[in-house]
Amino acid sequence: MRGTGATIFPVARAMATEKKILIVEDEGGLATTLKDRLRKEGYQVNVAKDGLSGFALAAAEPFDLIVLDVMLPGQSGLTVCQKLRERGSSVPILMLTARRQLTDKVAGLKTGADDYLSKPFHMAELLARVEALIRRGQPATAASRHQFGTVCVDLRRTEVSRDGRAVAVSAKEFQLLRYFVEHRGATLSRDELLREVWGYDVTPSSRTVDVHVAWLRQKLEKDPRNPQFILTVVGLGYKFAD
């Protein structure tokens, strides 16, 4: 095993660092040109030709970037973008807009696109934007995103999702969850949680912590009465599973 490990490891590492891009574009010629060029740059590329299949692909597997045309058959790029954001996805999105449609640019950014490019564009410009978006999205994503089971918490974007769907949490619930996630594996007393999460602006009551923990379990745990993430440490407090 030792002998083969040396050859397997570099391959595995190369695959892990290969960035995945999804192109959602109905103009066949443009889609092919983009796909070929991005592949040449070393990206792994998938293409969808309409909004519905684009959304389905984006929802099914993680991408590092989505190049999303606005004018698509069936469902517009704006709708696709909005739906992805609603379900808690923070994938960088580069929107392709028609030249004269300034409103598309505004609408695109409003629905959560990170950048846009007007058609026709120079390939060099698209490549530069793609690279910048992937670079920008990366360290922050890695540092701020925490996955446990099917639950994903994005600390930077203050988003929580479970089974790919956005979960609505209150500001206090999010702060408590953040503290848990940042102290995984440590036993946290109710006093510490009150002090760190609630500060001194409330009348201290360990019941406050218990109630919020119950709410979080309700929202995040498959079986709230038999929690897998936010564990009770009898007599001491709580612990977020490591």
Residue from 23, 43, 68, 69 that binds Ca ion (CB under 5 A)?
69
Minimum CB distance to Ca ion, residue 99 (Å): 12
Record the tokens describing residue 122, joined without a space: 């120079």
Minimum CB distance to Ca ion, residue 71 (Å): 4
Judged by CB, which is closer to Ca ion: 73, or 204?
Answer: 73
- The reply on whether position 71 binds Ca ion by CB under 5 A is yes
Judged by CB, which is closer to Ca ion: 51, or 88?
Answer: 51
- The reply on whether position 104 binds Ca ion by CB under 5 A is no
- The residue with tokens 């639950």 is 151
Judged by CB, which is closer to Ca ion: 24, or 209?
Answer: 24
Judged by CB, which is closer to Ca ion: 48, or 160?
Answer: 48
The closest of 139, 104, 137, 133 to 38, measured between CA atoms, is: 133
**CA-to-CA separations, 227 to 177, 240, 241, in angstroms, rounded:** 14, 10, 10
**Segments of 25-79 assigned E as strands:** 44-48, 65-69
Minimum CB distance to Ca ion, residue 55 (Å): 15
Which residue's Cβ has the minimum distance to Ca ion? Answer: 71
Minimum CB distance to Ca ion, residue 101 (Å): 11
| C-alpha dihedral sign at 224, 228, 229, 230 | positive
Name which of residues 17 to 36 contact Ca ion (CB under 5 A): 26
Paired with 47 in beta bridges are: 23
Q: Which residue stretch of 68-76, 99-107, 143-151, 187-195 sits at the interface with Ca ion (rule: CB under 5 A)?
A: 68-76
Contacts of residue 227, defined as CB under 8 A and 6 or more positions apart, other chains included, come to 217, 221
Minimum CB distance to Ca ion, residue 137 (Å): 24
Please count the CA atoms within 13 angstroms of the CA of 203 that sit on its side-chain side. Answer: 1
Residues that bind Ca ion (CB under 5 A): 26, 69, 71
